[in-house]
Amino acid sequence: MDRAQLESVMAKNPFSNLGDAVYEVLLEEILNFDLAPGTLIVERKLAELLGVSRSPVKSAIEKLTENDYIESRDGKYYVSSFSEEDFISTMDIAQLLDSFAAAEAAVKKTPRQMQTLVGLARKHQSLVRALLEGEDKPSCKEVIDADIGFHSYVVKIADNKLLSQMYEEIKFKLFRYRSYIVFSDSRRALETVENDHLRLCRLIDIGDRDIAAAGAKLHLQIARSEYKNEMSAETFNKRFD
């Protein structure tokens, strides 16, 4: 984490304030496990690394705390630990939203949108395959960005303002849990999700709401089962002790 990373974020979002830019940098570090669960967050140190005053760092930490990425204990801040209860509730909501999004997308899609969606699915598939083959491995962030890109585009096709707002609320928390699967390099979990996005594309393309919703629900149920196997407290905590 350094000033160059902050400047890159600011270049992509030139109208955002400094606190929001620092938030994006820290969020990326957390999602990418460069800041692992349980890591002590020191405001002064972060300000020095990013070359900013402590004020925008404080603002970013407060926002991350509100969104449950950082937790306060005994007057200090730490990257939030993972909890099975939070994981299950997040996945339950995601299953409802993704199923509705797929159903809406099935009846609202255009041929051009389907072409884009398939392209996103193939991009994700190629990155997961590269992880499995072990050559020129992509970063955790690359895989998660592709995953976010696919699901977010389904929501975009659905063209429902309330759905979009709700999905934005849970998106990063959801993909923080999913990012751990990439980080843990679980072969079985990766093999499970490798082709799922393309299968979901085919079901959405049929144009039937119920078929698309069922496909999305099954996709989340299978993924949830694999994620839960990897998300046991004992397995997870050992990686960061």
The predicted-structure confidence for 56-98, as pLDDT tens digits, reads as follows: 999 999 999 988 789 999 999 999 887 777 888 888 899 999 9
pTM (predicted TM-score): 0.77
The residue behind tokens 């078929």 is: 211
Q: Note the pLDDT of residue 54.
A: 95
157 alpha carbon, distance to own chain's centre: 19
Residues of the chain with CATH 1.20.120.530: 84-232
| Overall fold of domain 84-232 | Four Helix Bundle (Hemerythrin (Met), subunit A) (1.20.120)
The residue behind tokens 């119920």 is: 210
pLDDT tens-digit map of 105-141: 999 999 999 999 999 999 999 998 988 887 778 877 7
Q: Is the pLDDT of residue 16 over 60?
A: yes
Q: Note the pLDDT of residue 177.
A: 76
Give exposure, 115-151, as e/b (b: 16+ Cβ within 10 Å).
eebbebbebbbebbeebeeeeeebebbbbbbbbbebb
Mean pLDDT confidence for 17-25 = 92
193 alpha carbon, distance to own chain's centre: 14
Short-list 81, 85, 12, 21, CA closest to 51: 21
Q: Note the pLDDT of residue 187.
A: 72
Short-list 45, 34, 90, 56, CA closest to 240: 34
Q: Note the pLDDT of residue 13.
A: 81
What's the N-to-C CA distance of the chain in angstroms? Answer: 22
Q: Note the pLDDT of residue 235.
A: 53
Q: Is the pLDDT of residue 241 over 60?
A: no
Average predicted confidence (pLDDT) for the chain: 87
- What stretches of 109-208 show up as alpha helix (H) in DSSP? 111-133, 140-158, 161-184, 187-193, 196-206
Q: Which of 44-48, 68-72, 121-125, 175-179 has the lowest mean pLDDT?
A: 175-179
Residues of the chain with CATH 1.10.10.10: 3-79
What span, in angstroms and rounded, lies between the C-alpha atoms of 8 and 101? 32
Give me the sign of the Cα torsion angle 149, 177, 136, 126.
negative
Q: Is the pLDDT of residue 102 over 90?
A: yes
More confident call, 222 vs 73: 73
**Considering the chain, what percentage of its residues have pLDDT values greater than 70?**
90
What phi and psi, each to the nearest 5 degrees, are found at residue 208? -105, 125
Q: Note the pLDDT of residue 29.
A: 87
Architecture, CATH, for domain 3-79:
Orthogonal Bundle (1.10)
